[in-house]
Structure 1
Amino acid sequence: MIAAGLLLLAVGGVDLLRRLITRRRPLAFAVAGAVLVAMSAGADAIVAGILALAVAAIWTWVVPESGSARTGLWPVGLLGVTVAACVVVAPARSRPGLLGSVWEAYGPRADVSIDVLLLVAGCLLFLLESGNAVVRIALRAEMGERVLPATGDAPATLKGGRLIGPLERILVFALTLAGAYTLLAAVLAAKGIVRFPEISRDGEGGDRAEYFLIGSLVSWVTALAAAFTVWWGVQGG
Protein backbone atom coordinates (compact mmCIF):
# COMPACT_ATOMS: atom_id res chain seq x y z
CA MET A 1 0.00 0.00 0.00
CA ILE A 2 2.85 2.39 0.81
CA ALA A 3 4.25 1.86 -2.70
CA ALA A 4 0.91 2.80 -4.30
CA GLY A 5 0.65 5.91 -2.11
CA LEU A 6 4.16 7.09 -2.95
CA LEU A 7 3.59 6.41 -6.64
CA LEU A 8 0.42 8.51 -6.74
CA LEU A 9 2.09 11.23 -4.69
CA ALA A 10 4.97 11.38 -7.18
CA VAL A 11 2.82 11.47 -10.32
CA GLY A 12 0.22 13.83 -8.86
CA GLY A 13 2.91 16.08 -7.44
CA VAL A 14 4.84 16.41 -10.68
CA ASP A 15 1.66 17.26 -12.62
CA LEU A 16 0.67 19.86 -10.04
CA LEU A 17 4.14 21.43 -10.15
CA ARG A 18 3.99 21.58 -13.95
CA ARG A 19 0.66 23.36 -13.65
CA LEU A 20 1.73 25.89 -11.01
CA ILE A 21 5.40 26.56 -11.79
CA THR A 22 6.71 27.94 -15.06
CA ARG A 23 10.20 29.03 -13.96
CA ARG A 24 12.98 27.03 -12.31
CA ARG A 25 11.12 23.78 -12.72
CA PRO A 26 14.24 21.60 -12.35
CA LEU A 27 14.83 23.12 -8.91
CA ALA A 28 11.19 22.58 -7.92
CA PHE A 29 11.29 18.98 -9.15
CA ALA A 30 14.55 18.36 -7.28
CA VAL A 31 13.15 19.74 -4.02
CA ALA A 32 9.92 17.77 -4.38
CA GLY A 33 11.90 14.61 -5.19
CA ALA A 34 14.09 15.09 -2.14
CA VAL A 35 11.02 15.53 0.07
CA LEU A 36 9.47 12.35 -1.34
CA VAL A 37 12.67 10.35 -0.81
CA ALA A 38 12.98 11.66 2.76
CA MET A 39 9.35 10.76 3.40
CA SER A 40 9.79 7.28 1.97
CA ALA A 41 12.95 6.77 4.04
CA GLY A 42 11.07 7.80 7.17
CA ALA A 43 8.35 5.31 6.31
CA ASP A 44 10.95 2.58 5.71
CA ALA A 45 10.09 2.42 2.00
CA ILE A 46 13.10 4.02 0.31
CA VAL A 47 13.08 1.61 -2.63
CA ALA A 48 9.39 2.32 -3.29
CA GLY A 49 10.10 6.06 -3.14
CA ILE A 50 12.91 5.86 -5.70
CA LEU A 51 10.78 3.72 -8.01
CA ALA A 52 7.93 6.21 -7.65
CA LEU A 53 10.24 9.02 -8.79
CA ALA A 54 11.28 6.96 -11.81
CA VAL A 55 7.65 6.34 -12.77
CA ALA A 56 6.86 10.06 -12.34
CA ALA A 57 9.77 10.95 -14.65
CA ILE A 58 8.45 8.58 -17.31
CA TRP A 59 4.95 10.00 -16.85
CA THR A 60 6.16 13.55 -17.53
CA TRP A 61 7.64 12.37 -20.83
CA VAL A 62 4.74 10.28 -22.13
CA VAL A 63 2.02 12.67 -20.85
CA PRO A 64 2.83 16.24 -21.96
CA GLU A 65 1.29 19.28 -20.32
CA SER A 66 -1.04 19.89 -23.27
CA GLY A 67 -2.44 17.78 -26.03
CA SER A 68 -2.70 14.02 -25.98
CA ALA A 69 -0.33 11.47 -24.51
CA ARG A 70 2.42 10.22 -26.83
CA THR A 71 0.96 6.73 -26.77
CA GLY A 72 -2.74 7.41 -26.29
CA LEU A 73 -4.45 5.86 -23.29
CA TRP A 74 -1.69 3.34 -22.61
CA PRO A 75 0.11 5.44 -19.94
CA VAL A 76 -3.12 5.74 -17.93
CA GLY A 77 -3.83 2.02 -18.17
CA LEU A 78 -0.28 1.06 -17.24
CA LEU A 79 -0.32 3.44 -14.28
CA GLY A 80 -3.57 1.91 -13.06
CA VAL A 81 -2.16 -1.61 -13.36
CA THR A 82 1.02 -0.55 -11.55
CA VAL A 83 -0.93 1.00 -8.66
CA ALA A 84 -3.10 -2.11 -8.37
CA ALA A 85 0.00 -4.31 -8.36
CA CYS A 86 1.54 -2.17 -5.62
CA VAL A 87 -1.56 -2.62 -3.46
CA VAL A 88 -1.42 -6.41 -3.96
CA VAL A 89 2.32 -6.87 -3.56
CA ALA A 90 2.83 -4.35 -0.74
CA PRO A 91 -0.24 -4.32 1.58
CA ALA A 92 -0.40 -2.40 4.85
CA ARG A 93 2.55 -3.14 7.12
CA SER A 94 2.76 -3.83 10.84
CA ARG A 95 6.03 -1.86 11.11
CA PRO A 96 5.76 1.32 9.01
CA GLY A 97 9.10 2.89 10.00
CA LEU A 98 9.94 5.96 12.06
CA LEU A 99 7.32 8.15 10.36
CA GLY A 100 4.68 5.53 11.04
CA SER A 101 5.72 5.23 14.67
CA VAL A 102 5.42 9.00 15.13
CA TRP A 103 1.99 8.94 13.46
CA GLU A 104 0.82 6.10 15.70
CA ALA A 105 2.02 7.93 18.79
CA TYR A 106 0.79 11.44 18.02
CA GLY A 107 -1.66 11.12 15.12
CA PRO A 108 -5.34 11.97 15.68
CA ARG A 109 -6.44 8.51 14.46
CA ALA A 110 -4.37 5.67 15.84
CA ASP A 111 -6.44 3.13 13.90
CA VAL A 112 -5.40 4.68 10.56
CA SER A 113 -1.88 3.62 9.60
CA ILE A 114 0.66 5.84 7.86
CA ASP A 115 0.30 3.59 4.80
CA VAL A 116 -3.41 4.38 4.54
CA LEU A 117 -2.76 8.07 5.15
CA LEU A 118 -0.17 8.28 2.35
CA LEU A 119 -2.41 6.33 -0.02
CA VAL A 120 -5.33 8.71 0.59
CA ALA A 121 -3.01 11.72 0.20
CA GLY A 122 -1.64 10.28 -3.04
CA CYS A 123 -5.13 9.71 -4.44
CA LEU A 124 -6.21 13.26 -3.58
CA LEU A 125 -3.09 14.78 -5.14
CA PHE A 126 -3.51 12.67 -8.27
CA LEU A 127 -7.17 13.67 -8.64
CA LEU A 128 -6.28 17.37 -8.63
CA GLU A 129 -4.24 17.86 -11.81
CA SER A 130 -3.38 14.37 -13.07
CA GLY A 131 -7.11 13.71 -13.25
CA ASN A 132 -7.39 16.59 -15.71
CA ALA A 133 -4.64 14.98 -17.80
CA VAL A 134 -6.52 11.66 -17.85
CA VAL A 135 -9.71 13.40 -18.99
CA ARG A 136 -7.80 15.33 -21.65
CA ILE A 137 -6.23 12.14 -23.01
CA ALA A 138 -9.62 10.44 -23.21
CA LEU A 139 -11.16 13.43 -24.99
CA ARG A 140 -8.35 13.53 -27.51
CA ALA A 141 -8.62 9.80 -28.12
CA GLU A 142 -12.38 9.97 -28.73
CA MET A 143 -12.92 13.38 -30.33
CA GLY A 144 -9.78 13.44 -32.45
CA GLU A 145 -9.21 16.59 -34.48
CA ARG A 146 -12.16 18.35 -32.89
CA VAL A 147 -9.85 18.91 -29.92
CA LEU A 148 -7.26 21.60 -30.57
CA PRO A 149 -3.78 20.01 -30.92
CA ALA A 150 -1.96 22.81 -29.12
CA THR A 151 -4.00 22.90 -25.94
CA GLY A 152 -5.97 19.72 -25.75
CA ASP A 153 -9.17 21.73 -25.28
CA ALA A 154 -12.25 21.25 -27.41
CA PRO A 155 -13.91 24.11 -29.28
CA ALA A 156 -16.96 23.31 -27.17
CA THR A 157 -15.09 23.55 -23.87
CA LEU A 158 -17.51 24.16 -20.99
CA LYS A 159 -16.83 27.06 -18.66
CA GLY A 160 -14.95 26.35 -15.44
CA GLY A 161 -14.21 22.74 -16.35
CA ARG A 162 -10.58 22.86 -15.23
CA LEU A 163 -11.64 23.95 -11.74
CA ILE A 164 -14.90 22.04 -11.47
CA GLY A 165 -13.26 18.77 -12.55
CA PRO A 166 -10.83 18.43 -9.60
CA LEU A 167 -13.46 19.53 -7.08
CA GLU A 168 -15.93 17.06 -8.56
CA ARG A 169 -13.44 14.20 -8.42
CA ILE A 170 -12.53 14.92 -4.81
CA LEU A 171 -16.23 15.03 -3.88
CA VAL A 172 -16.90 11.72 -5.63
CA PHE A 173 -13.83 10.20 -3.96
CA ALA A 174 -14.79 11.39 -0.47
CA LEU A 175 -18.50 10.58 -0.73
CA THR A 176 -17.75 7.09 -2.08
CA LEU A 177 -15.39 6.30 0.80
CA ALA A 178 -17.93 7.71 3.25
CA GLY A 179 -20.67 5.52 1.77
CA ALA A 180 -22.87 8.57 1.10
CA TYR A 181 -24.23 7.18 -2.15
CA THR A 182 -27.48 9.17 -2.10
CA LEU A 183 -25.58 12.43 -1.75
CA LEU A 184 -23.15 11.26 -4.43
CA ALA A 185 -26.01 10.66 -6.87
CA ALA A 186 -27.39 14.12 -6.06
CA VAL A 187 -24.01 15.75 -6.80
CA LEU A 188 -23.70 13.98 -10.14
CA ALA A 189 -27.27 14.86 -11.10
CA ALA A 190 -26.72 18.49 -10.10
CA LYS A 191 -23.81 18.77 -12.52
CA GLY A 192 -26.02 17.70 -15.41
CA ILE A 193 -28.71 20.19 -14.41
CA VAL A 194 -26.23 23.06 -14.13
CA ARG A 195 -24.63 22.22 -17.48
CA PHE A 196 -27.91 21.68 -19.31
CA PRO A 197 -28.31 25.31 -20.57
CA GLU A 198 -24.86 25.18 -22.21
CA ILE A 199 -25.43 21.72 -23.68
CA SER A 200 -28.88 22.66 -24.99
CA ARG A 201 -27.27 25.35 -27.18
CA ASP A 202 -25.11 22.72 -28.83
CA GLY A 203 -26.96 22.71 -32.14
CA GLU A 204 -26.67 19.86 -34.62
CA GLY A 205 -22.99 19.11 -34.09
CA GLY A 206 -23.38 17.65 -30.62
CA ASP A 207 -19.82 18.54 -29.60
CA ARG A 208 -20.77 20.01 -26.23
CA ALA A 209 -22.89 17.02 -25.28
CA GLU A 210 -20.17 14.58 -26.32
CA TYR A 211 -17.50 16.61 -24.54
CA PHE A 212 -19.61 16.73 -21.37
CA LEU A 213 -20.45 13.03 -21.38
CA ILE A 214 -16.93 11.78 -22.09
CA GLY A 215 -15.27 14.23 -19.72
CA SER A 216 -17.73 13.59 -16.89
CA LEU A 217 -17.69 9.81 -17.18
CA VAL A 218 -13.89 9.61 -17.32
CA SER A 219 -13.63 12.02 -14.38
CA TRP A 220 -16.09 10.00 -12.30
CA VAL A 221 -14.45 6.69 -13.16
CA THR A 222 -11.05 8.10 -12.16
CA ALA A 223 -12.40 9.23 -8.78
CA LEU A 224 -14.23 5.94 -8.22
CA ALA A 225 -11.09 3.99 -9.12
CA ALA A 226 -9.12 6.01 -6.55
CA ALA A 227 -11.76 5.34 -3.89
CA PHE A 228 -11.76 1.63 -4.75
CA THR A 229 -7.95 1.55 -4.47
CA VAL A 230 -8.14 2.93 -0.93
CA TRP A 231 -10.96 0.56 0.01
CA TRP A 232 -9.07 -2.38 -1.48
CA GLY A 233 -5.87 -1.43 0.32
CA VAL A 234 -7.65 -1.10 3.68
CA GLN A 235 -9.54 -4.38 3.26
CA GLY A 236 -6.41 -6.17 2.14
CA GLY A 237 -4.47 -4.78 5.09
Structure 2
Amino acid sequence: MIAAGLLLLAVGAADIVRQFAPRRWIGYLTVAIILLVLGSVSDAVLPMIFALVAGALWVWCMPTRGRAPMSFWPAVILGVLAVGAVVWFGDRADAGLLGAVWNPRSPFGAVTVDLAVLAVGAGAFLLESANLVVRTALDGEHTWRPIELMRGTGEEIGAEDAGQADGTADVTDAEGGGTPLSRGGFQGGRLIGPLERVLVMILTLAAAYPILASMLAAKGIVRFPEISRDGETGARAEYFLVGSLVSWVIGLSAAFLVWWAAHS
Protein backbone atom coordinates (compact mmCIF):
# COMPACT_ATOMS: atom_id res chain seq x y z
CA MET A 1 0.00 0.00 0.00
CA ILE A 2 2.82 2.42 0.80
CA ALA A 3 4.21 1.81 -2.69
CA ALA A 4 0.94 2.92 -4.28
CA GLY A 5 0.81 6.02 -2.10
CA LEU A 6 4.38 7.06 -2.86
CA LEU A 7 3.86 6.34 -6.56
CA LEU A 8 0.79 8.57 -6.82
CA LEU A 9 2.40 11.21 -4.61
CA ALA A 10 5.52 11.36 -6.79
CA VAL A 11 3.51 11.69 -10.01
CA GLY A 12 1.06 14.22 -8.55
CA ALA A 13 3.79 16.35 -6.99
CA ALA A 14 5.84 16.34 -10.22
CA ASP A 15 2.88 17.65 -12.21
CA ILE A 16 2.13 20.33 -9.61
CA VAL A 17 5.76 21.45 -9.89
CA ARG A 18 5.52 21.52 -13.69
CA GLN A 19 2.43 23.69 -13.56
CA PHE A 20 3.24 26.15 -10.79
CA ALA A 21 6.96 26.17 -9.93
CA PRO A 22 8.85 29.09 -11.56
CA ARG A 23 12.06 27.04 -11.46
CA ARG A 24 11.22 23.43 -12.04
CA TRP A 25 14.53 21.94 -11.02
CA ILE A 26 14.14 23.43 -7.55
CA GLY A 27 10.64 22.01 -7.33
CA TYR A 28 11.75 18.58 -8.51
CA LEU A 29 14.62 18.60 -6.02
CA THR A 30 12.23 19.54 -3.20
CA VAL A 31 9.85 16.73 -4.13
CA ALA A 32 12.71 14.24 -4.27
CA ILE A 33 13.97 15.30 -0.83
CA ILE A 34 10.48 15.04 0.67
CA LEU A 35 10.02 11.56 -0.78
CA LEU A 36 13.47 10.50 0.40
CA VAL A 37 12.71 11.64 3.94
CA LEU A 38 9.23 10.12 3.91
CA GLY A 39 10.49 6.81 2.54
CA SER A 40 13.33 6.69 5.09
CA VAL A 41 11.26 7.43 8.21
CA SER A 42 8.50 5.05 7.11
CA ASP A 43 10.86 2.17 6.27
CA ALA A 44 9.91 2.26 2.59
CA VAL A 45 13.18 3.01 0.81
CA LEU A 46 12.65 0.66 -2.14
CA PRO A 47 9.08 1.86 -2.84
CA MET A 48 10.37 5.41 -2.59
CA ILE A 49 13.07 4.80 -5.21
CA PHE A 50 10.51 3.10 -7.44
CA ALA A 51 8.21 6.11 -7.04
CA LEU A 52 10.96 8.55 -8.01
CA VAL A 53 11.74 6.59 -11.17
CA ALA A 54 8.06 6.31 -12.04
CA GLY A 55 7.59 10.06 -11.51
CA ALA A 56 10.47 10.84 -13.88
CA LEU A 57 9.05 8.50 -16.53
CA TRP A 58 5.62 10.08 -16.14
CA VAL A 59 7.01 13.56 -16.77
CA TRP A 60 8.65 12.28 -19.94
CA CYS A 61 5.60 10.35 -21.20
CA MET A 62 2.94 12.96 -20.35
CA PRO A 63 4.03 16.43 -21.55
CA THR A 64 2.04 19.46 -20.48
CA ARG A 65 1.99 20.79 -24.05
CA GLY A 66 1.26 18.95 -27.26
CA ARG A 67 0.14 15.38 -27.67
CA ALA A 68 1.44 12.65 -25.38
CA PRO A 69 3.73 10.29 -27.34
CA MET A 70 2.18 7.22 -25.71
CA SER A 71 -1.39 8.54 -25.53
CA PHE A 72 -3.07 7.66 -22.21
CA TRP A 73 -1.27 4.32 -21.77
CA PRO A 74 1.02 5.72 -19.03
CA ALA A 75 -2.13 6.47 -17.02
CA VAL A 76 -3.38 2.92 -17.54
CA ILE A 77 -0.04 1.46 -16.45
CA LEU A 78 0.04 3.77 -13.43
CA GLY A 79 -3.45 2.67 -12.43
CA VAL A 80 -2.55 -1.01 -12.75
CA LEU A 81 0.59 -0.54 -10.65
CA ALA A 82 -1.30 1.37 -7.94
CA VAL A 83 -4.10 -1.19 -7.76
CA GLY A 84 -1.60 -4.05 -7.74
CA ALA A 85 0.38 -2.48 -4.89
CA VAL A 86 -2.78 -2.12 -2.79
CA VAL A 87 -4.20 -5.57 -3.57
CA TRP A 88 -1.06 -7.65 -3.21
CA PHE A 89 0.92 -5.84 -0.55
CA GLY A 90 -1.70 -4.28 1.70
CA ASP A 91 -0.96 -2.54 4.99
CA ARG A 92 2.31 -3.13 6.82
CA ALA A 93 2.66 -4.03 10.48
CA ASP A 94 5.87 -2.01 10.83
CA ALA A 95 6.04 1.50 9.38
CA GLY A 96 9.46 2.45 10.73
CA LEU A 97 10.13 5.52 12.85
CA LEU A 98 7.06 7.32 11.57
CA GLY A 99 4.85 4.40 12.48
CA ALA A 100 6.17 4.41 16.05
CA VAL A 101 4.89 7.93 16.68
CA TRP A 102 1.89 7.86 14.32
CA ASN A 103 -1.42 7.33 16.10
CA PRO A 104 -4.19 9.51 14.58
CA ARG A 105 -7.85 8.55 14.80
CA SER A 106 -10.83 9.22 12.59
CA PRO A 107 -14.61 8.64 12.82
CA PHE A 108 -14.06 5.61 10.61
CA GLY A 109 -11.33 4.02 12.74
CA ALA A 110 -7.54 4.05 12.89
CA VAL A 111 -5.61 5.65 10.05
CA THR A 112 -2.30 3.91 9.42
CA VAL A 113 0.77 5.53 7.89
CA ASP A 114 0.33 3.57 4.67
CA LEU A 115 -3.33 4.56 4.34
CA ALA A 116 -2.56 8.23 5.02
CA VAL A 117 0.18 8.29 2.37
CA LEU A 118 -2.15 6.62 -0.11
CA ALA A 119 -4.93 9.13 0.54
CA VAL A 120 -2.54 12.09 0.18
CA GLY A 121 -1.02 10.59 -2.97
CA ALA A 122 -4.44 10.01 -4.53
CA GLY A 123 -5.46 13.57 -3.72
CA ALA A 124 -2.25 14.95 -5.22
CA PHE A 125 -2.83 12.96 -8.41
CA LEU A 126 -6.36 14.36 -8.77
CA LEU A 127 -5.07 17.95 -8.84
CA GLU A 128 -2.88 18.27 -11.95
CA SER A 129 -2.05 14.77 -13.17
CA ALA A 130 -5.71 13.98 -13.78
CA ASN A 131 -5.94 17.12 -15.94
CA LEU A 132 -3.28 15.64 -18.22
CA VAL A 133 -5.14 12.33 -18.42
CA VAL A 134 -8.41 14.05 -19.35
CA ARG A 135 -6.68 16.24 -21.94
CA THR A 136 -5.01 13.17 -23.45
CA ALA A 137 -8.36 11.40 -23.65
CA LEU A 138 -9.86 14.41 -25.41
CA ASP A 139 -6.91 14.60 -27.81
CA GLY A 140 -7.54 10.96 -28.68
CA GLU A 141 -10.89 11.99 -30.19
CA HIS A 142 -10.47 13.44 -33.68
CA THR A 143 -13.86 15.13 -33.99
CA TRP A 144 -14.62 16.37 -30.49
CA ARG A 145 -13.59 20.02 -30.81
CA PRO A 146 -16.44 22.53 -31.24
CA ILE A 147 -16.11 24.66 -34.36
CA GLU A 148 -15.67 27.80 -32.22
CA LEU A 149 -12.47 26.30 -30.82
CA MET A 150 -11.15 25.47 -34.26
CA ARG A 151 -11.63 29.13 -35.21
CA GLY A 152 -10.21 30.42 -31.94
CA THR A 153 -13.46 32.05 -30.75
CA GLY A 154 -16.08 31.30 -28.17
CA GLU A 155 -15.83 29.70 -24.74
CA GLU A 156 -14.05 26.40 -24.33
CA ILE A 157 -16.70 23.94 -23.22
CA GLY A 158 -15.41 21.56 -20.62
CA ALA A 159 -12.23 23.48 -19.82
CA GLU A 160 -12.60 22.43 -16.21
CA ASP A 161 -12.25 18.81 -17.31
CA ALA A 162 -9.25 19.26 -19.56
CA GLY A 163 -7.65 21.76 -17.19
CA GLN A 164 -6.49 24.20 -19.84
CA ALA A 165 -4.47 27.16 -18.57
CA ASP A 166 -2.65 30.37 -19.48
CA GLY A 167 -5.69 31.98 -21.11
CA THR A 168 -5.35 29.95 -24.29
CA ALA A 169 -7.17 26.89 -25.48
CA ASP A 170 -4.62 24.16 -26.06
CA VAL A 171 -5.82 23.59 -29.61
CA THR A 172 -4.41 24.36 -33.03
CA ASP A 173 -5.93 26.30 -35.87
CA ALA A 174 -7.92 24.70 -38.66
CA GLU A 175 -4.92 24.72 -40.98
CA GLY A 176 -2.91 22.65 -38.49
CA GLY A 177 -0.30 25.31 -37.89
CA GLY A 178 0.26 24.05 -34.36
CA THR A 179 -0.09 27.48 -32.71
CA PRO A 180 -2.35 27.67 -29.64
CA LEU A 181 -5.38 29.85 -30.24
CA SER A 182 -6.46 32.48 -27.76
CA ARG A 183 -9.90 32.38 -26.22
CA GLY A 184 -12.01 34.66 -24.09
CA GLY A 185 -14.24 33.92 -21.14
CA PHE A 186 -13.51 32.83 -17.63
CA GLN A 187 -10.40 30.86 -16.82
CA GLY A 188 -11.51 28.93 -13.74
CA GLY A 189 -11.18 25.54 -15.43
CA ARG A 190 -7.78 24.98 -13.85
CA LEU A 191 -9.49 25.09 -10.43
CA ILE A 192 -12.93 23.65 -11.13
CA GLY A 193 -11.77 20.29 -12.49
CA PRO A 194 -9.46 19.37 -9.57
CA LEU A 195 -12.03 20.57 -7.02
CA GLU A 196 -14.69 18.48 -8.70
CA ARG A 197 -12.56 15.33 -8.60
CA VAL A 198 -11.52 15.87 -4.99
CA LEU A 199 -15.17 16.36 -4.02
CA VAL A 200 -16.11 13.19 -5.91
CA MET A 201 -13.47 11.28 -3.95
CA ILE A 202 -14.45 12.73 -0.56
CA LEU A 203 -18.21 12.37 -1.06
CA THR A 204 -17.80 8.79 -2.29
CA LEU A 205 -15.66 7.81 0.70
CA ALA A 206 -18.18 9.48 3.03
CA ALA A 207 -21.02 7.58 1.31
CA ALA A 208 -22.77 10.91 0.61
CA TYR A 209 -24.20 9.60 -2.63
CA PRO A 210 -27.24 11.95 -2.86
CA ILE A 211 -24.96 14.99 -2.54
CA LEU A 212 -22.59 13.51 -5.11
CA ALA A 213 -25.42 12.86 -7.57
CA SER A 214 -26.77 16.37 -7.05
CA MET A 215 -23.36 17.91 -7.72
CA LEU A 216 -22.85 15.97 -10.94
CA ALA A 217 -26.37 16.76 -12.11
CA ALA A 218 -25.87 20.44 -11.36
CA LYS A 219 -22.84 20.52 -13.64
CA GLY A 220 -24.90 19.20 -16.52
CA ILE A 221 -27.62 21.78 -15.86
CA VAL A 222 -25.13 24.64 -15.81
CA ARG A 223 -23.58 23.51 -19.09
CA PHE A 224 -26.89 22.73 -20.82
CA PRO A 225 -27.41 26.17 -22.46
CA GLU A 226 -24.01 25.94 -24.15
CA ILE A 227 -24.42 22.29 -25.14
CA SER A 228 -27.86 23.02 -26.57
CA ARG A 229 -26.26 25.29 -29.19
CA ASP A 230 -24.64 22.27 -30.81
CA GLY A 231 -26.81 22.26 -33.88
CA GLU A 232 -26.27 19.11 -35.91
CA THR A 233 -22.61 18.47 -35.07
CA GLY A 234 -22.93 17.37 -31.43
CA ALA A 235 -19.34 18.48 -30.86
CA ARG A 236 -20.07 20.43 -27.67
CA ALA A 237 -22.00 17.55 -26.12
CA GLU A 238 -19.26 15.08 -27.07
CA TYR A 239 -16.58 17.36 -25.64
CA PHE A 240 -18.50 17.80 -22.39
CA LEU A 241 -19.39 14.13 -22.01
CA VAL A 242 -15.92 12.75 -22.76
CA GLY A 243 -14.17 15.23 -20.50
CA SER A 244 -16.65 14.92 -17.65
CA LEU A 245 -16.88 11.13 -17.72
CA VAL A 246 -13.12 10.65 -17.76
CA SER A 247 -12.75 13.16 -14.92
CA TRP A 248 -15.44 11.44 -12.84
CA VAL A 249 -13.99 8.00 -13.47
CA ILE A 250 -10.61 9.18 -12.20
CA GLY A 251 -12.17 10.64 -9.05
CA LEU A 252 -14.26 7.53 -8.39
CA SER A 253 -11.25 5.27 -9.04
CA ALA A 254 -9.18 7.18 -6.49
CA ALA A 255 -11.99 6.85 -3.95
CA PHE A 256 -12.34 3.13 -4.61
CA LEU A 257 -8.59 2.63 -4.25
CA VAL A 258 -8.52 4.34 -0.86
CA TRP A 259 -11.69 2.48 0.23
CA TRP A 260 -10.19 -0.86 -0.78
CA ALA A 261 -7.01 -0.10 1.12
CA ALA A 262 -8.95 0.91 4.24
CA HIS A 263 -11.03 -2.27 4.25
CA SER A 264 -8.43 -4.80 3.14
Q: What TM-score does the superposition give when structure 2 sets the normalisation length?
A: 0.82
Give the Å deviation of 1:34.
0.9
Partner of 1:18: 18
Shift of 1:151: 8.3
* Deviation string, structure 1 residues 99-147 (Cα, Å, up to 9, x no partner): 122222xx35471111111111001110000110110010001236847
Partners of 1:225 and 1:69 lie apart in 2 by 22
- Which structure features the higher share of helix residues? 1
% identical equivalent positions: 51
Matches within 5 A, 1:4-15: 4-15=4-15
The one-letter amino acid paired with 2:112 is S
Matching of residue 194 in structure 1 with residue 194 in structure 2: no
Q: Read off the aligned partner of 2:7 and give its amino acid letter.
A: L
Alignment of 1:43-82 (within 5 A): 43-82=42-81
Q: Summarize the Cα distance change of 1:154–1:192 in structure 2 as closer, same or farther, 3 Å threshold.
A: farther
Output the CA distance in 1 between the equivalents of 2:43 and 2:79. Answer: 24
**TM-score (normalised: structure 1):** 0.91
Q: Please report how far the alpha carbon of residue 203 of structure 1 lies from its aligned counterpart in structure 2 after TM superposition.
A: 3.0
Aligned counterparts of 1:86 and 1:30: Cα–Cα separation in 2: 25
Equivalence for 1:161:
189
Higher RCO structure (Cα 8 Å, ≥6 apart): 1
Counterpart of 1:115 in structure 2: which amino acid?
D
* 1:51-87 deviation line (CA, Å, top 9, x unaligned): 0000000000000012332111211110111111111
Q: Is the 8 A contact 1:148 1:154 kept in 2?
A: no
Residues 172-211 of structure 1 correspond to what in structure 2 (within 5 A)? 172-211=200-239
Quote the Cα distance in structure 2 between the aligned partners of 1:151 and 1:229.
Answer: 39
Which is greater in Rg? Answer: 2
For 1:95, the equivalent position in structure 2 comes to 94
The residue aligned with 1:116 is 115
What is the aligned-residue RMSD (CA, Å)?
2.4
Match of 1:3? 3
Alignment of 1:148 onto 2:156 = no
One-letter amino acid of the counterpart of residue 16, structure 2: L
Q: Secondary structure at the match of 2:43?
A: coil
Task: Quote the offset at 1:158 in angstroms.
Answer: 8.7
Distance 1:153 1:169 in 2: 27
Alignment CA distance shift 1:126-1:108 (3 Å): same
Partners of 1:62 and 1:71 within 8 A in 2? yes
Report what 1:135 is aligned to. 134
* Between 90-99 and 220-229, the greater mean CA deviation after superposition: 90-99
**Change in CA separation of 1:53 and 1:126 when aligned onto 2, cut-off 3 Å:** same
